[in-house]
Amino acid sequence: MKWYIKFLDCIFVSIAIVDFYDSLVLYPSFFIPALSHYVPVLRFINLPVTIFAVLMAVVGPIVWHRREKKGKVDSSLLHAWFTGIIRYWLAVEIFNYGFAKVFGTQFAASYFRGDSVWNSLSGYDLTWNYFSYSYAMSCIIAGVQIVGSGLLLFRRTTLSGVILLLPVMVNIVLIDTFYSIAGGALMNAILFTLGLTYLLLLQWKAIADFFKRSRPSMPVIHLGGLKNLLRLVVVGYAFAFIFFISKTKAPSDLAGKWKVDQLIRNGDTTKANDWLTDSLSWKNIYLEDYGRFTFSPNPYFVESARATIGLYHYEEPKKRIRFVINRPNLPPDTVYAAVNMTGPGHMQWRISDRKNTVSLKLTKMRNDLHH
């Protein structure tokens, strides 16, 4: 048995011991009233369990290696036991996350988040808001976790379970990392991913042999060098088209959130509180990078039902913006705004149509988007 197999077996079994104790003994005592008075004792026991696990991770591979040399241990059998413990550890933990989604204890709807402005929310709250939107989607993820965990419980289906679960766990690690999910959840996701990866690598020779032996059953299409040309065309088209779209981005000094400092409609200057009753008394104007605009009367957050929404295009030679306004159950309306950039972060518009003339003074606001 390779030394690194012994080392990794002991490492993951040590983690499993601590995690088993925390998940199956200590953690339930916080929720089950009959066990609540045992919490101090169970917390105390957690320390020797952790010490034992650390010693096993450090000393275990050495003892195993020495006993193997003396012929006092069946390494294959011990390895089978250890991988069995690892499989059951991963199954128990991922089962928990799967059933938590089904029963709504994970991704539960939150009342305060529902009434919060999205860019005031943490990465954790944004993630929970997103996944709690669709219970069906949560159940699909849960189904993959539950089925995959079930497959881990059987030696012959371990590889199938790993292949099913590993992409899900990698995705969770990425979400937890880049959306700043709490450290404990991230650590669990990383450990589960590493454990699944280890089980996958134990089967690497079989996986490599499978791909070497597997051949498509369909006949080969002979196109000579044209086949490689077609491959290049497919890649080149996708790249060129998206690259072209990226160049249609609005000028950086135009796109952004603009506060309406003054709005004059047909000679009348709107008052501070007119927005409460008049949806055309705009307080903020949002010009997105790729052509969407929103004129919002509410100065605090966008009310889609009251906002004026549509698409815009900046005609640089004419120094004007063409707005195509969405109108429910009516054809879109098109208006033009003459633009005067009066200074960095400041501009004036003059919008004219058959009925109205609107003048606006705008100041660009700081970008508060979270990246």
Domain parsing of the chain, residue ranges: 3-211, 256-364
pLDDT at 367: 61
pTM: 0.83
Chunked mean pLDDT (size 10), the chain, 371 residues? 92 95 89 88 93 95 92 93 96 95 87 76 87 92 97 95 97 93 88 97 89 82 87 95 90 93 95 95 95 95 93 93 91 93 94 88 75 41
Instruction: Supply the DSSP string of 216-231, one letter for each residue.
Output: -SSPPP--TTHHHHHH
pLDDT, residue 241, reads 93
How many alpha carbons fall within 13 Å on the CB side of residue 170?
A: 8
- Best CATH choice for the domain 256-364 from the list 3.40.50.880, 3.40.50.2300, 3.40.50.150, 2.40.128.540: 2.40.128.540
pLDDT, residue 370, reads 44
What's the Cα-to-Cα distance from 62 to each of 66, 273, 314, 353, rounded to whole Å? 6, 77, 71, 84
Closest among 196, 178, 177 to 93, alpha carbons compared: 196
